[in-house]
Amino acid sequence: MNPWLEKQRHLIDFTLASLGRRKTKNIGLLLAYTLLVFVLASLTLFTHALRSEASFVLAGSPEVILQRMVAGRHDLIPPNYIEKIGRIRGVQKKEGRLWGYYYDTVLNANYTFMARSADEVADGYIMVGNALARERGLAAHNTISFRSYSGKLFTFEVSAVLSPDSELLSADLVLLSENDFRRFFEYPAGHFTDIALSVANPQEVRNIAAKLSSALPDSRPILREEVLRTYQSVFDWREGIVLTVLAGAILAFAILAWEKASGLSAEEKREIGILKAIGWETGDVIRMKTWEGLLISLSAFLLGFIAAYVHVFHFDAAVFEPVLKGWSVLYPRFTLVPTVDGLQIATLFFFTVFPYTAAVLVPIWRAAITDPDAVMRA
Partner 1 sequence: MIELSNIKKAFNQGQPNEYWALHGIDLALEAGKVTAFRGPSGSGKTTLLTIVGCLSRPTSGRVRFKGEDISGLPERFLTDIRRQSFGFVFQQFNLIKGLSALENVILPAFPTGRPRHELVTAAEGIFDQLKLGHRSTAKVEWLSGGEQQRVAIARALINDPEVIIADEPTANLDTALSKEFMSILEGFTATGKTVLLTSHDPLVVDSTAVHRVVGMRDGRLTED
Summarize as ranges the residues that interact with partner 1 (CB under 8 A).
1-7, 9-11, 13-14, 17-18, 20-21, 267, 270-271, 274-282, 284, 371-373, 375-378
Per-position b or e across 273-309, b if 16+ CB within 10 A of its CB? bebbeeebebebbbbbbbbbbbbbbeebbebbbebbb
**Which lies closer to partner 1 via its Cβ, residue 134 or residue 270?**
270
Residue 334 Cα to chain centre, angstroms: 12
C-alpha span between 142 and 299 (Å, rounded): 48
8 A C-beta contact, residue 196 and residue 114: no
**Which lies closer to partner 1 via its Cβ, residue 10 or residue 84?**
10
C-alpha span between 171 and 194 (Å, rounded): 22
**Which lies closer to partner 1 via its Cβ, residue 11 or residue 131?**
11
**Which lies closer to partner 1 via its Cβ, residue 343 or residue 378?**
378
C-alpha span between 174 and 151 (Å, rounded): 19
In whole angstroms, the minimum distance from the beta carbon of 289 to partner 1 comes to 14
In sequence order, the β-bridge partners of residue 263 are: none
Q: What is the radius of gyration, based on Cα positions, of the chain?
A: 30
Q: Do strands 153-161 and 91-97 pair parallel, antiparallel, or not at all (unpaired)?
A: unpaired
In whole angstroms, the minimum distance from the beta carbon of 281 to partner 1 comes to 5
**Which lies closer to partner 1 via its Cβ, residue 15 or residue 47?**
15
8 A C-beta contact, residue 100 and residue 115: no
C-alpha span between 156 and 125 (Å, rounded): 5
In whole angstroms, the minimum distance from the beta carbon of 5 to partner 1 comes to 8
C-alpha span between 10 and 26 (Å, rounded): 20
In whole angstroms, the minimum distance from the beta carbon of 297 to partner 1 comes to 22
**Which lies closer to partner 1 via its Cβ, residue 271 or residue 316?**
271
**Which lies closer to partner 1 via its Cβ, residue 14 or residue 125?**
14
In whole angstroms, the minimum distance from the beta carbon of 265 to partner 1 comes to 12
In whole angstroms, the minimum distance from the beta carbon of 372 to partner 1 comes to 5
Burial of 375 per CB tally in 10 Å (0-12, 13-18, 19+):
middle
C-alpha span between 318 and 355 (Å, rounded): 29
In whole angstroms, the minimum distance from the beta carbon of 288 to partner 1 comes to 9
